[in-house]
Chain A
Amino acid sequence: MMAILEVSNIGKSFGKTEVLTDISFSLEKGESLAIIGSSGSGKTTLLRCLNFLETPDQGTIRVGDEVIFDASRTEKLSNEELRKNRLHFGLVFQNFNLFPQYTAFRNVTLAGELLAKERPDYKANKTVILEEIREHGRELLASVGLSAKADNYPHQLSGGQQQRVAIARALALNPDILCFDEPTSALDPELTGEVLNVIRSLASKKTTMIIVTHEMGFARQVADNVLFMDKGFVVEYGSPADVIDNPKHERTKRFLENYTNA
């Protein structure tokens, strides 16, 4: 089977600082990949490159059978291409970044409604299209257990609830690959469980995911593969049993010693 995502030789520098060096990995449809590593190892930058919030200096990104990014192409991506590329990916931020002036429900449906306006049949089928988007939004909120909070504004929700809304929002446009950037790092410890449970249930439904996380126990349990990064390099890649339980590299071992109780 052809991988749904193939990242090849991605490199990225900020000024003189090289943040990512020669990153390559691939992802099968339905697979979840955990990316682990200490702060400053480039995990977040990698996710931001995939979501085109940063532009890599080197390498290619292929989604399905389409090369959506190739750094060796000379012309810059147009705004339209950027938007199209971004739609392959969803991103759940560490700080949720919900839109404060919209209800939980509207946070989930807004982007879909804006996007639908570009459909050629929008004018003719407006009511049907909007009802579909709203129905999908209701299903998504139900799937993260927040149907009862649909009409609440973000400030009325706990951090865990906000992050679950953010997950529903990221799923609303049916991305090929859903990315999580340390989704529980901004949460009180007692609120991380509810968010991890949602991600766990997504994994059981074979959602293709890339999860940057510090929760080793969770990564071992949910991820099909684990990628350990250090100083912008991929140090080790493999199944959780290999990377987390029997790391080969000295650097991985030292990193994992901090999580002996995970």
Chain B
Amino acid sequence: MQEIISVLFSGFGENLRIFALTLAMAIPLGLVITFGSMTKFKPVRWLTRTFVWIIRGTPLMLQLFVVLYAPGLLFGIPMRDRMAATLVAFVINYAAYFSEIYRGGIESIPKGQYEAGAVLGMTRRQVFFKVVLLQVIKRIVPSMGNEVITLVKDTSLARVIGVAEIIMVAERYTKQGLIGPLFSTGLYFLLFNGLLTLLLGRIERKMDYFRV
């Protein structure tokens, strides 16, 4: 029993690792993609938007396989680190989703806010960071919350390329006739997402002091 719990825990550790590293990298990378998809320079804009369309339009599972196998089969440099492959696929996938949320948030800020900053002699950078950014953050927290919770559950997809995450290790017990471990993995996800929901609620409340 104790052994099962500690095996599941170490499995869930993999899920959390994918989760945390993906978030840490996809949040800033998403912003870079946003700027690409909003630039006035058309080739970059269309390239970025096509990229986002492909990433959002194909299964994450397929992307995991592509990242794992493409380097070896196409270029003769096999990808040996399965965790690294997982992270590359997850970061790209989530950055694409985040970038669209950011873009929606930025485009929802009224033009008057930019103009008010401009006539007060602010630079474009100052307008973005001092005036617009916090309003964007407030607007996107609910949609980002959804994505973050989806990400927690998506981490179990890593098993398709052999990362020993919690569902993969729990499934092994079914061969011993045990279904309990597999069922109990749901509790790990539920508990962790419960914590995240509380945290997200706190962030939303922190920005309750103003309206956009």
Task: Report A's interface with B, CB cutoff 8 A.
Answer: 51-53, 79, 83-84, 86-87, 89-91, 93, 95, 97-102, 110-111, 114-115, 153-155, 169-170, 172-173
From B126, which residue of chain A is reached at the shortest CB distance? A114
B124 contacts which chain A residues (CB < 8 A)? 79
| Residue B4 interfacial (CB < 8 Å) | no
Count residues of chain B with CB under 8 A from any CB of chain A. Answer: 23
Task: Report B's interface with A, CB cutoff 8 A.
Answer: 110, 112-113, 115-124, 126, 130-131, 134-135, 138, 209-212
Whether the Cβ atoms of B120 and A100 lie closer than 8 Å is: no
Whether the Cβ atoms of B112 and A173 lie closer than 8 Å is: no
Whether the Cβ atoms of B121 and A115 lie closer than 8 Å is: yes
Whether the Cβ atoms of B135 and A101 lie closer than 8 Å is: yes
Minimal beta-carbon separation of A44 from chain B (angstroms): 12
Binding site secondary structure of chain B: helix
Docked Cα-Cα span, A111 to B135, in Å, equals 17
Whether the Cβ atoms of A51 and B211 lie closer than 8 Å is: no
The residue from A79, A153, A169 contacting B209, defined by CB atoms under 8 A apart: A153
Whether the Cβ atoms of A53 and B112 lie closer than 8 Å is: no
Whether the Cβ atoms of A99 and B113 lie closer than 8 Å is: yes
B126 contacts which chain A residues (CB < 8 A)? 114
Task: List the 9 shortest-distance A-B pairs measured between CB atoms, nearest first.
Answer: A111-B120, A97-B116, A97-B112, A155-B211, A91-B119, A101-B210, A100-B210, A87-B121, A101-B134
B131 contacts which chain A residues (CB < 8 A)? 99
Docked Cα-Cα span, A87 to B134, in Å, equals 25
Whether the Cβ atoms of B116 and A93 lie closer than 8 Å is: yes
From A169, which residue of chain B is reached at the shortest CB distance? B120
Minimal beta-carbon separation of B83 from chain A (angstroms): 40
The residue from B113, B122, B135 contacting A97, defined by CB atoms under 8 A apart: B113
A84 contacts which chain B residues (CB < 8 A)? 121
Whether the Cβ atoms of A86 and B121 lie closer than 8 Å is: yes
B134 contacts which chain A residues (CB < 8 A)? 101
Minimal beta-carbon separation of B142 from chain A (angstroms): 17
A114 contacts which chain B residues (CB < 8 A)? 121-122, 126, 130
A95 contacts which chain B residues (CB < 8 A)? 112
A79 contacts which chain B residues (CB < 8 A)? 123-124
Docked Cα-Cα span, A91 to B122, in Å, equals 14
Minimal beta-carbon separation of A158 from chain B (angstroms): 14
Whether the Cβ atoms of B115 and A53 lie closer than 8 Å is: yes
Given contacts A101-B134, A101-B210, contact A111 B115 (CB under 8 A): no
Minimal beta-carbon separation of A56 from chain B (angstroms): 16
